Amino acid sequence: MTSLIISETELTLFQKFIEKECGITISSDKAYLLETRLSRLAIENACNNFTDLYKISQSDPSIKNKIIEAMTTNETLWFRDQWPYEILKEVIFPELLQKVKSGEKRQIRFWSAACSSGQEPYSISLVAHELARLGKGKELTTGALSITATDLSKSILFIAKAGRYDGLSISRGMPEELRDRYFKQDGRVYVLDEAVRQVVQFQQLNLMNPFTELGRFDVIMLRNVAIYFSAEFKKELFKKVAQCLNPDGYLFIGASESLIGYSDDFDRLEACGGAYYKLKRSR
Ligand SMILES: C[S@@+](CC[C@H](N)C(=O)[O-])C[C@H]1O[C@@H](n2cnc3c(N)ncnc32)[C@H](O)[C@@H]1O
């Protein structure tokens, strides 16, 4: 398909617009991303150039949404980087389960804050189901665990909620043993077990908006999303995230991400070959 060429003025217009709507910054050397991801939308809507596309997006919310969705990167996989899930299994779930068993805590609350097509929250649920199956936390499958999963993109949430994955998605990180135990095949589609899906509640949320109404969490996964945001927005976001954690709550960020220069609210801990963060007691 022919691709429209974006001018300098149009690039600035779109950079500002996209950052304002969803926090994603597009550096000038990534102008090609706008051209490759938005040309089809422009042409389908009879736009001769990016200025026309911008103009219609300002009066048509569905076009605005399509632009934002096209500019998000939904790359994800099962048990991404493995160590976060090892840490959950070996350190965090045992600690939180202890609190449930002693009556100190009624529910363990997770938030997967940019959940994409669901692999992240479902991987958490699978770790919990495996612990319960092995007799190390039956509470996790009898009401003590709740996972809130949010994303900006409505279309990716639609895929996530369905819990249906093709062979390629399954081949990316899902161990065969778990695939055979927790998925049923429907033709070429793998359908995730209802019990694993049930503990996950999906909802649309733009991280630029306030999110205190989600309540407080014990563990927040904010992985591979802040990399797209400006330094200023990262600072603000990590501050809001810290306010959403229970005392002693944990935060996971992506393998290539860091809190240095963005937040002083957390202590960095290491286990199972990876790093995770614990909310400081005195902040
Ligand atoms: C690369 S995926 C990361 C998925 C998962 N956390 C992981 O690490 O595999 C980034 C996700 O962030 C979402 N996203 C981007 N900007 C967002 C925003 N402002 N609010 C909420 N989600 C956003 C995208 O829609 C996308 O699904």
Interval 63-115: pLDDT, tens: 999 999 999 999 999 999 999 999 999 999 999 999 999 999 999 999 999 99
Question: Which pTM value belongs to this model?
Answer: 0.97
pLDDT of amino acid 2? 72
* Closest to 213 (Cα-Cα) out of 236, 249, 243: 243
241 CA distance to ligand 1 middle (Å): 15
CA–centroid distance, 74 to ligand 1, in Å, is 6
24 within ligand 1 shell (Cβ under 6 A)? yes
By the 8 A CB rule, do 42 and 50 touch? yes
Counting residues of the chain whose pLDDT is more than 90, the rounded percentage is 98
CB 25 less than 6 A from any atom of ligand 1: no
Is the confidence at residue 180, as pLDDT, over 90? yes
Whether residue 51 has its Cβ less than 6 Å from ligand 1: no
The C-alpha atoms of residue 60 and residue 255 are separated, in whole angstroms, by 38
Q: Residue 134 Cα, ligand 1 centroid: separation in angstroms?
A: 32
In whole angstroms, how far apart are CA 99 and each of 87, 141, 154, 245?
17, 16, 35, 16
Which residue, judged by its Cα, is nearest atom 9 of ligand 1?
Answer: 76
Task: Please tell me if the CB atom of residue 80 comes closer than 6 angstroms to any atom of ligand 1.
Answer: yes
Confidence grade of residue 1 (pLDDT, cut at 50, 70, 90)? low
Instruction: Convert the pLDDT of each residue in 116-148 to its tens digit.
Output: 999 999 999 999 999 999 999 999 999 999 999
How much distance in Å is there from the Cα of 113 to the middle of ligand 1?
8
Q: What is the pLDDT of residues 263-279, one digit of tens each?
A: 999 999 999 999 999 99
114 lines ligand 1 (CB under 6 A): yes
Second CATH level (architecture) for the domain 8-71: Orthogonal Bundle (1.10)
pLDDT bracket for residue 3 (50, 70, 90) = confident
Query: Closest ligand 1 atom, CA of 112?
Result: 6
The preferred substitution site among 33, 110, 152, 251 for testing ligand 1, maximizing ligand atoms within 8 Å of CB, is 152
- List the end-to-end C-alpha distance of the chain, in Å, as a whole number: 53
For residue 208, which atom of ligand 1 is closest to its CA? 19
Assigned superfamily of 83-279 = Vaccinia Virus protein VP39 (3.40.50.150)
The model's confidence at residue 212, banded by pLDDT at 50, 70 and 90, is: very high
Domain boundaries, the chain: 8-71, 83-279
From residue 177, give the alpha-carbon distance in Å to each of 97, 122, 130, 174, 180: 25, 16, 11, 8, 5
C-alpha distances in Å from residue 63, one per residue of 39, 57, 135, 264, 265: 13, 5, 50, 39, 38
> Whole-angstrom Cα distance, residue 86 to residue 83?
5
Average pLDDT over residues 246-265: 97
Nearest CA to ligand 1 atom 3: 224
Task: For residue 7, report the distance from its CA to the centre of ligand 1, in Å.
Answer: 28
Position 263 scores a pLDDT of: 98
Q: Is there a common fold for 8-71 and 83-279?
A: no
pLDDT, one tens digit per residue, over 13-47 is 999 999 999 999 999 999 999 999 999 999 999 99
> Does 156 sit in the ligand 1 pocket, CB within 6 Å?
yes
